[in-house]
Amino acid sequence: LGIFTILCFIIGLIGFVQQEPNQARVMLFFGRYHGTFRETGLYWVNPFLLTKKISLRARNLNPEPIKVNDKEGNPVMIGLVMVWKLRDTYKAMFEIDSQTMAESKNNTVGATLVSRMNAFETFVKVQSDAALRQVAGLYAYDSNDDEELGNLTLRSGGDEINEQLVSKLNERLLMAGMEVIEARINY
């Protein structure tokens, strides 16, 4: 009876989790999604639930500039800076292959929070490059003709092009439960 009581006590202690602000835990019960826990503090959860931490904090991305062709076919080096964060933890964990990406970098079976967030950042970087190429290809870098002075260009477009970039990025990242807060062409 004493061994059974000690075993139950140890299993009960395993269920305590400490949750920090702007973090969430995706909970799985024998492989089935059981919910997302977002409350801050110290809590007890079923010790048989597998919990995976995810950061809900805003993150910056400032990749190296890439070479794209503008509307007229001229090669242009262009870069962006963006701020993004996770909105939907279910989509982030199960709609993209973040588990495999995180595991392959460390060669470990259980991906940690850092490797999981690095996998998300890799996904965001690839999608941001594709969106930047798409938006940059719609406009000429600069207008030299007098009749084209009213047209929007990459040099003069500023806010309008940045708004379109945010829109394209949000379209691409929506499937992964991510949201772009701000994106700007910085190079």
pLDDT digits (tens, 9 = 90+) for 28-48: 888 888 888 888 888 888 888
Nearest of 127, 114, 107 to residue 168 by alpha carbon: 127
Beta-strand relationship, 41-44 and 16-19: antiparallel
Nearest of 48, 9, 43, 5 to residue 24 by alpha carbon: 43
CA 52 to CA 30: how far, in whole Å? 13
7-17 tens-digit pLDDT: 888 888 888 88
Query: What is the structure's pLDDT at 100?
Result: 55
126-174 tens-digit pLDDT: 888 898 888 888 888 777 664 455 577 777 777 888 888 889 999 989 9
76-119 tens-digit pLDDT: 888 889 999 999 888 888 887 755 555 555 444 445 778 888 88
Identify the residue with better confidence: 21 or 139.
21
Query: What is the structure's pLDDT at 99?
Result: 54
Tokens of 56: 């809900």
CA separation, residue 57 to residues 77, 80, 159, 163, 182 (Å): 30, 20, 25, 22, 14
